[in-house]
Amino acid sequence: MRMKPNTSHAALSAGMAIPKVGPQTSDAATMARHAQAQARSWLQLNVPMANWQGRRVWLVGASTGIGLACAQALRAAGAQVVVSARNPQGVQEWAAQDAGVQWRALDVSDPDQVQATARALQADGPLDLVVYAAGYYRAQRATALNLEELLQHDKVNYQGALRVIDAVLPEMLSRQSGHISLLSSVAGWRGLPNGLAYGPTKAALTHLAETLYMDLQDQGIGVSVVNPGFVETPLTAQNQFTMPALISPEQAAREMLKGWAQGQFDIHFPKRFTLWLKLLRLLPYRLYFPLVRKFTGL
């Protein structure tokens, strides 16, 4: 009896291509991704970004605080930066004096505006890094629950990030390149007093970044999440307590650029504060809850 030849072997012998399952990319794109993977050590979860000359960066929610300081640090390093937010504050004057800085007004709660802005920016060239730094914060406890404030946090901190990602990701996928960085917070690591509205949205951002990374690491797209401790910004100025290990926005920006240069996924700082919080994440609830009460007095 005559045996049928192995289909795969026969197809290969005849020079026939076997259909592939999943996203199709060119050989050049595949080779580029392999070269990028080989260029980083096993400790680097992303391709390091240290040379910013000629790179285009879009920072959303960067008219003040960490976002603005990061935009300024990236520009000083040679990047072409686009800054977006609802209000220009000090950015418009800066952009008018520097051709490498562009201001684009943007309300992240407006889906059409987000899509239109992203299309306009991508028409001028690819975006190498997109940083979502838009944030809204009001302290809230369950004993004074305010649904409108809860939903506003979600609209800006989380839904806005989804809209921006939806607007920029298809183009990044098409060229198998780019990096998305989400500005989260250590406030999202575990539940904290006064964090009823803010903390859950930051926890969602961190979870989102983790899932994006797993989905996109093989597509040539980097993903990182930034988890600052207390940074001196208009948001933290509302706090009525002493903030441990408080740092300046400029210090935060330096830590972010260092994290991207090292290919980190989880960029957290200052370490003297965040490493202790990481340990707290490991505690069982029966120890965590009374410990937080003791140290916060709440």
Give yes or no for residue 40 having a pLDDT over 80.
no
Q: pLDDT at position 36, please? A: 56
pLDDT reported for residue 16: 37
In a domain, 15, yes or no: no
Which pLDDT value is given to residue 238?
Answer: 76
Do 109 and 124 meet the contact criterion of CB atoms below 8 Å apart? no
Q: What is the pLDDT of residues 240-275, one digit of tens each?
A: 667 778 899 999 999 999 999 999 999 999 999 999
**Which of 3-12, 217-226, 229-238 holds the top average pLDDT?**
217-226
Q: How far apart are CA 99 and CA 118, in angstroms?
A: 19
Residue 33 has pLDDT above 90, yes or no: no
Question: What is the pairing mode between strands 222-228 and 80-85?
Answer: unpaired
Residue 236 confidence (pLDDT) above 90: no
Give the integer Cα–Cα distance in Å for 145 and 173: 41
What are the pLDDT digits (tens) for 72-124? 999 999 999 999 999 887 798 899 999 999 999 999 999 999 999 999 999 99
Compare 10 and 97 and report the one with higher pLDDT. Answer: 97
Residue 31 lies in a domain: no
What was the pLDDT predicted at 39? Answer: 56
CA distance 209 to 205: 6
Higher local confidence (pLDDT), 156 or 16:
156
| Annotated catalytic residue 158 | no
Per-residue confidence (pLDDT) for residue 296, from 0 to 100: 82
CATH of the domain at 147: 3.40.50.720
Q: What is residue 245's predicted lDDT score, i.e. its pLDDT?
A: 83
Q: Which of 136, 198, 213, 285 is catalytic?
A: 198
Say yes or no to pLDDT of 11 above 50. no
Tokens coding 196: 């009823």
Dihedral (C-alpha) 125, 58, 48, 72: value to the nearest 10 degrees? 120
- CA angle, 190 then 191 then 194, to 5°: 135
Among the residue ranges 33-42, 90-99, 154-163, the one predicted with the least confidence is 33-42
What span, in angstroms and rounded, lies between the C-alpha atoms of 61 and 89? Answer: 12
Q: Report the percentage of the chain scoring pLDDT > 90.
A: 74
How far apart are the C-alpha atoms of 223 and 212, rounded to whole Å?
7
Q: How many domains does the chain have?
A: 1
171 lies in some domain: yes
- Residue 9 domain-assigned (yes or no): no
Residues 6+ apart with CB under 8 A from 168: 58, 118, 122, 127, 130, 178, 180
Residue numbers of the domain that contains 62: 44-296
Hey, how many other C-beta atoms are within 10 angstroms of the C-beta on 60? 27
7 in a structural domain:
no
pTM: 0.85
CA proximity to 102, closest of 59, 67, 70: 59
**Domain contains 249:** yes
Q: Which residue has the tokens 């562009």?
A: 102
Q: Could you tell me the pLDDT band of residue 42, with boundaries at 50, 70 and 90?
A: confident
Task: Report the run of H or E that residue 89 belongs to, with start and end.
Answer: none
Mean pLDDT of the chain: 88
Is there a domain that residue 27 lies in?
A: no
- Assess if residue 80 is contained within a domain: yes
% of residues, the chain, pLDDT over 70: 85
pLDDT over threshold 80, residue 2: no
181-233 per-position pLDDT tens digit? 999 999 999 999 999 999 999 999 999 999 999 999 999 999 999 999 988 87
Q: Is the separation of the CB atoms in 66 and 252 below 8 Å?
A: yes
CA atoms lying within 13 Å on the CB side of residue 119: 6
Q: Residue 295 — pLDDT band, cuts 50, 70, 90?
A: confident
The span from the CA of 271 to the CA of 245, in Å, is 9
Q: How far is residue 21's CA from residue 134's CA, in Å, rounded to a whole number? A: 37
Alpha helix ranges (H) inside the chain: 7-13, 27-38, 65-76, 91-97, 111-123, 147-153, 160-175, 198-216, 249-261, 271-280, 285-296
